[in-house]
Chain A
Amino acid sequence: MSKSHGPEQLSLFIDGMLTEKEAHHIEKHLEECAACRRQAQEMRRLRNDLVEFGVPPLPAYLVHKVLRKYQALQQQPSFWNSFDFFTKILRPVTLVLAIAGFLVLWFYPPAPDPLVSEAARKYTLIFESTPGDSILSTDDQALNFALNMRPATTTGENK
C-alpha cells in the first residue's frame, strides 16, 4: 500500500465512493502497484462470490402471517384499551353519584351551627328594633357585635 492513499481508499474505490480526482489517483496507482491491484481484485471477487452465494427466498407465507398477526393484535384489547373500557363505565357512575349527592343535600341540608343561628336571630331582632342607619356600620361595631352578640351603641357610650 503506498503512502499516497489511505487503506480504506481501495474499498471506497470499488464502491464508487471517491471523487473523480481521487478515483483517477487510485487508478494510476493501481497501474504501478501490484499489491494494491491484487487487493482491489480480491475485493471485487469477494463481492461477486457473495452475490453468487445468493439470497435465500422469502417463505411465501411470511408476509401474510405477519399481517394476520398484526391485525389480530390490533383487535385484541390491550391494557390501555381495557382501562378505557373502565372509564367508559366509571363516567356515568360518577355522574349518577354526583346527582344523588346533590339531591340529598337539597332535601336534607346539614343543620346549621346553633351558635350561628342564634347570632343571626339576635342580629335580626336588634337590627329591626334600631331606627335609622345600621348599628353595624363601622368595623368596630361589627367586631364588637361578633364578639358579644350585641351592638356597640354609638361612640363611647358603653365605656
Chain B
Amino acid sequence: MGMEYTDDQYELIKASQAGDSKAMASLLEAHAPSVYAFLCHLSNDSVLAEDLAQETMLRCLQSLKYYKFRAPFRAWLFRIAVNLFRDHRRRMTVRKYTRSGNFEDEQYHPPSTDPGPHLQAERNERKAVLQQALGELAPNLRMVIIMRDLQELSYEEIAQSLKWRMGTVKSRLFRARKELAEKMRPFWEEP
C-alpha cells in the first residue's frame, strides 16, 4: 500500500521528524487540545487526562520518526492515546466511571453570551446528566461516540485509531448513540 496521508500538516510533521523544535511545538499546539479533551471525556477525570495527554504527546515526539504517513496523523496520535488509556484501565481495573465531579469545578463551557442564572443552572444539570450517561456506556462505545460526535474524527480516522474494521465502527457508533439516547430520553422528556 503506497498510499500516503498528506494533510495540510505534512510539512510540519516532516520538520518535526527532522528535529525542528519549533515545528514540534506547533504540531503539539495543534493536536494537544483535542487529545486532552478526548482523554477528559473518556476518563471523566481531568487530572488523569492531563497525565495521559502529557504521556501521549511525549510518546508522539519520541516515536515520530516511525510515523510513515500510512494513516492520518490524527488517527496515529489518537491510537497512542487510546493505548495509554487502555493500559491505565488495565492497571486500575477497579476504577469506576462515576461522575466524579472533577469537571464541575472547571468552567469549560464554550464561551457564549451569558444565558442568565436560570438557564445556566439548567445547562449545568443537563451536562451532569449527559456526563453520567456517557460514563455508564461500555468503554468501546464511549470511545467511538466521543471521537465522532465530540472530536469530529472521520469514520476512517476512528477505524485507524482503534484498529477496528469499518463495519465495527459503524455498528458500535450506532449502538453507542442508541444506548445514550435511551439513557437521556427520560431527562429530555421531563416537562
Contact = CB atoms under 8 A, between A and B. Distances in A.
Interface string A25-62: 00000000000000100110111011111111111001
B21 interface: yes
B42 to A, nearest CB: 12
Nearest to B34: A55
Contacts of A96: none
A67 interface: yes
Given A42-B181, A42-B185, A52-B110, A65 B24 contact: no
A13 to B, nearest CB: 11
Given A50-B130, A67-B25, A70-B62, A58 B149 contact: no
Contacts, number: 112
B109 A69 contact: no
Given A42-B185, A53-B127, A10 B149 contact: no
Contacts of B62: 70, 73
A66 B80 CA distance: 15
Interface residues of A, number: 33
Contacts of B162: none
B40 A17 contact: no
Contact of A63 (B57, B131, B181): B57
B58 A55 contact: no
Interface string A56-84: 11110011011101110100000000000
Contacts of B114: none
A53 to B, nearest CB: 5
Main secondary structure of the interface of A (DSSP, over half): helix
A55 B106 CA distance: 11
Interface stretch (B6-14, B68-76, B84-92, B172-180): B172-180
B28 A53 contact: no
Interface centre among B28, B40, B146, B149 (most CB of A within 10 A): B149
8 tightest A-B CB contacts, nearest first: A11-B174, A55-B37, A56-B108, A42-B181, A66-B57, A8-B174, A58-B33, A47-B149
Interface of B: 21, 24-25, 28-29, 32-34, 36-37, 40, 46, 49-50, 53-54, 57-58, 61-62, 103, 106, 108-110, 123, 126-127, 130-131, 145-146, 148-150, 155, 170-171, 173-174, 177-178, 180-181, 184-185, 188
